[in-house]
Structure 1
């Protein structure tokens, strides 16, 4: 089986990591604007995205001293025409991007949006359509207006449902005629791994236990998503809306039944937000987990009806790596963790120690195809690596071509298995600030951006070898994967 003729080839970005222009047009700050780059000689080696209230207050105190790389991004705000022309040159059918909530509603509580922000996204969509590129828009890619963090402790408060649905209803009313494909939340399950990043939470500030605080916030996100989907189906009947999770395929460390059971439980935990968004109800496994671990959720009024009426049209995933799970006391790791320490001896690793596992993508697609029976969109995948810009402006990234070639072949194999995969948008198609380390030097793109971790550089764009390779792949609709 070949790729469908209407397969959506493209690439993916997010506003917080790519857009830049954080102080232009009245844009308010988001909570991601206060995640700083941890420098090599910094004595505080805390993983940057796990910000505590103490760290946050320190970051505000040193507003003009620390390196807040997300504020710069890759300067898409000023270069969107140039960048979209590069995507068109590769033959993109779709471009995944997100909208900055605080560019439209600076504090998240305004009744009316900023005109400059509204027009900016109209301009981006017009530019995409000029080249026949269909925007794929994520309504929230983690970032919330920082005032909602300070006043409500982020998504722990049900008030954010009200603010978010006001924002998303505006997006639907304003842009639905320009955007056919939408995603409500980016990697909605990431809140269970990084509560500040995924939920704007200071768990230490909550009266709830850490885990209870996180799951209360996740419940509010699931309700906000369902209410948005219901409104979407009523007012944007020609478009489609999906969900998204970071898909963490796990393997048993051994064939010992205890390891197999622990792996099954980890996979259930990873799947459950999609279960809610695709099936319209909480799975019994997670309700049982809540009961066993004394996690008491204040359920939103009529939540069962809301979830049932807010089921998505398609499933979308990020897929980067797989992990192995052990039930042994000395090897057991927290449930729901994104990065795990046990090594898989059968797989090679990236420069950042992520396992390279294209067959795992095929396994994932088959699992999800059988579980949900909905179209699947792979909206993030790719290789973060150290790229070198040569004096002639070239970048030789054969390692990225090899990685992508094998993963695209795995998608093709999954199509032959009967999976309904509708699109593929590799992450960071133009280099952007990497999330985990707040750095430019972990690069994913087909296009090199001349900027370093401190923001030095021209920000000029250079085509990598993978640029020309991916152009060939798209032109052949996935038939020519030769390296």
Structure 2
């Protein structure tokens, strides 16, 4: 390495260490300013809840008329699920929903975000004949929640597309799916909207587009046309969202008095340095996560950076599309877990089309080599609470301070099947995670962000998609070896005390 190169590298490391010091000093001052944080530090009408998804928890995959989904088929393909498992039973919430709702109530949460299985309502996805058993099940769940003074937050689509819609027409690559989603959505509005006042159309369309149709690690596992299909899939999901919202606003909103939104997922992207190219790369990375879905809703088209990088691969909106999409959310749902440093990389080492075209490399270490935060169970998840404050403020600034619900936030533990139960229940790191992230959310509210709710992910350990049962995100431990018994972890007891604004270490759940 020449003298100039050594000098530049040395300067880069010094700049990185200075940035690290500033961020950490600011974070410490916020985190230690008021301890302990509790429910009373948040606005009176702020919603605290827990979240799950149908395919991950319900089980009963072939009971009471439910049709198969793309994830049922995906789990049968050898090598797709790392532990070879499936969600035929999952954690059996289909049969144990009353037990789980009782737990939610005892912990003090006032909201439960769950998803409806499309193929449990319409087994073939087409909307020609409703499955009465599926409708009855969700009516029972909703009624049980209302009886416990818990508000249902219902997600219409959390990745489990009816298999028939994929096999017969290609699923989300076919624009015809928009009308089928609209029929399904309206059926849910008319069936459950007298009690459900909070609707989410689609969960994390980014993950369906990228992991389902680019990397292939999620159902339906496509990667053959990764340069174009992800953007087509995203486009049709946006149109499906807009169509459903239009129906809700025209026919149901006034008489039912509810609200409807879209859930996006985003990790915060922090420029690795103050170099212009790194700042631009970090901004571009956020465009490819958030702007991809929110810019069409708030500004009528995809971000300029995506248009420049993708050209004709990026579909075009018609004038009708733009009109339907315009301001088609009452709130933004944000799923957030972690953060990354980002630097410009013309030759991105992440070898798939979606990341390569962004020319933005994601990095988990400071310039000096220290990791960005303590690592959780999954390789992608680091504890970086200051990231959520920055992200909330970014959304507020870019989209004119919209109402935001944090619809997922949490961390996972590795489950190698060898750790004793008492160790798995004493999840100190998860408690620290929630303390840190809630402190950062509290600070973002003080900054002026219109954050109205927070949902911990997840209520229960469950089927973690391609990771099977090897990772545990729950605040409730599920004993997979002993009848799926539920055991509250230390994090569950922490939330119990937090929501009661008490510090009684002797709180126990009568369970």
* TM-score where L is the length of structure 2: 0.81
**For 1:350 and 1:6, how far apart are their aligned partners in 2?**
31
Note closer, same or farther for the CA distance 1:274–1:144 as it changes in structure 2 (3 Å cut): same
Cα-Cα RMSD: 2.9
User: Does the alignment pair 1:202 with 2:219?
Assistant: no
**For 2:397 and 2:383, how far apart are their aligned partners in 1?**
24
- 2:489 matched residue in structure 1: 464
Matches within 5 A, 1:169-318: 169-196=186-213, 200=220, 202-204=222-224, 209-234=225-250, 235-237=252-254, 238-276=257-295, 278-279=297-298, 281-285=300-304, 288-289=307-308, 292-295=310-313, 297=315, 299=317, 302-308=320-326, 311-318=328-335
**For 1:276 and 1:480, how far apart are their aligned partners in 2?**
43
Deviation (angstroms), 1:436: 4.0
Range with greater deviation from structure 2 (144-153 or 193-202): 193-202
Q: 2:48 touches 2:453 (CA, 8 Å); kept in 1?
A: yes
**For 1:163 and 1:293, how far apart are their aligned partners in 2?**
29
Residue 347 of structure 1: which of 373, 385, 388 is its match?
Answer: 373
**For 1:417 and 1:442, how far apart are their aligned partners in 2?**
34
Note closer, same or farther for the CA distance 1:482–1:316 as it changes in structure 2 (3 Å cut): farther
- 1:103 matched residue in structure 2: 120
Range with greater deviation from structure 2 (78-87 or 397-406): 397-406
Residue 144 of structure 2: which of 127, 148, 172 is its match?
Answer: 127
- 2:65 matched residue in structure 1: 26
Range with greater deviation from structure 2 (313-322 or 261-270): 261-270
Note closer, same or farther for the CA distance 1:391–1:262 as it changes in structure 2 (3 Å cut): closer
Q: 1:379 touches 1:425 (CA, 8 Å); kept in 2?
A: yes
User: Does the alignment pair 1:374 with 2:402?
Assistant: yes
User: Does the alignment pair 1:88 with 2:105?
Assistant: yes
- 1:53 matched residue in structure 2: none
Q: 1:247 touches 1:318 (CA, 8 Å); kept in 2?
A: yes
Note closer, same or farther for the CA distance 1:340–1:392 as it changes in structure 2 (3 Å cut): closer
**For 1:436 and 1:341, how far apart are their aligned partners in 2?**
23
**For 2:505 and 2:410, how far apart are their aligned partners in 1?**
17
**For 2:383 and 2:493, how far apart are their aligned partners in 1?**
23
Deviation (angstroms), 1:279: 1.1
- 1:450 matched residue in structure 2: 479
- 1:158 matched residue in structure 2: 175
Range with greater deviation from structure 2 (119-128 or 380-389): 380-389
Residue 399 of structure 1: which of 422, 429, 438 is its match?
Answer: 429
Number of equivalent positions:
448
- 1:55 matched residue in structure 2: none
Deviation (angstroms), 1:293: 3.8
What secondary structure is seen at the aligned counterpart in 1 of 2:153? strand
Range with greater deviation from structure 2 (394-403 or 164-173): 394-403
Matches within 5 A, 1:379-394: 379-386=407-414
- Larger Rg: 1 or 2? 2
What secondary structure is seen at the aligned counterpart in 2 of 1:407? helix
**For 2:385 and 2:128, how far apart are their aligned partners in 1?**
46
What secondary structure is seen at the aligned counterpart in 2 of 1:29? coil
Note closer, same or farther for the CA distance 1:9–1:365 as it changes in structure 2 (3 Å cut): same
What secondary structure is seen at the aligned counterpart in 1 of 2:378? coil
Note closer, same or farther for the CA distance 1:300–1:330 as it changes in structure 2 (3 Å cut): closer
Deviation (angstroms), 1:417: 0.8
Q: Describe the superposition over 1:58-105 as per-residue Cα deviations: whole angstroms up to 9, x where unpaired.
A: xxxxxxxx9442222210001000000000000111000000000010
Q: 1:394 touches 1:462 (CA, 8 Å); kept in 2?
A: no
Deviation (angstroms), 1:18: 0.8
* TM-score where L is the length of structure 1: 0.85
Note closer, same or farther for the CA distance 1:438–1:276 as it changes in structure 2 (3 Å cut): same
Deviation (angstroms), 1:328: 3.5
Deviation (angstroms), 1:211: 2.5
* Structure 2 unaligned residues grouped into runs of 5+: 1-39, 507-511
Range with greater deviation from structure 2 (297-306 or 375-384): 297-306
Note closer, same or farther for the CA distance 1:106–1:286 as it changes in structure 2 (3 Å cut): farther
What secondary structure is seen at the aligned counterpart in 2 of 1:211? coil
**For 1:72 and 1:317, how far apart are their aligned partners in 2?**
29
* Structure 1 unaligned residues grouped into runs of 5+: 50-65
Q: Describe the superposition over 1:191-210 as per-residue Cα deviations: whole angstroms up to 9, x where unpaired.
A: 34212577847342xxxx42
Deviation (angstroms), 1:386: 3.4
Residue 392 of structure 2: which of 339, 360, 365 is its match?
Answer: 365
Note closer, same or farther for the CA distance 1:30–1:8 as it changes in structure 2 (3 Å cut): same
Q: Describe the superposition over 1:282-314 as per-residue Cα deviations: whole angstroms up to 9, x where unpaired.
A: 144156236x54315265672222222x61000
Deviation (angstroms), 1:120: 0.3
Range with greater deviation from structure 2 (126-135 or 319-328): 319-328
- 2:19 matched residue in structure 1: none
What secondary structure is seen at the aligned counterpart in 2 of 1:361? helix
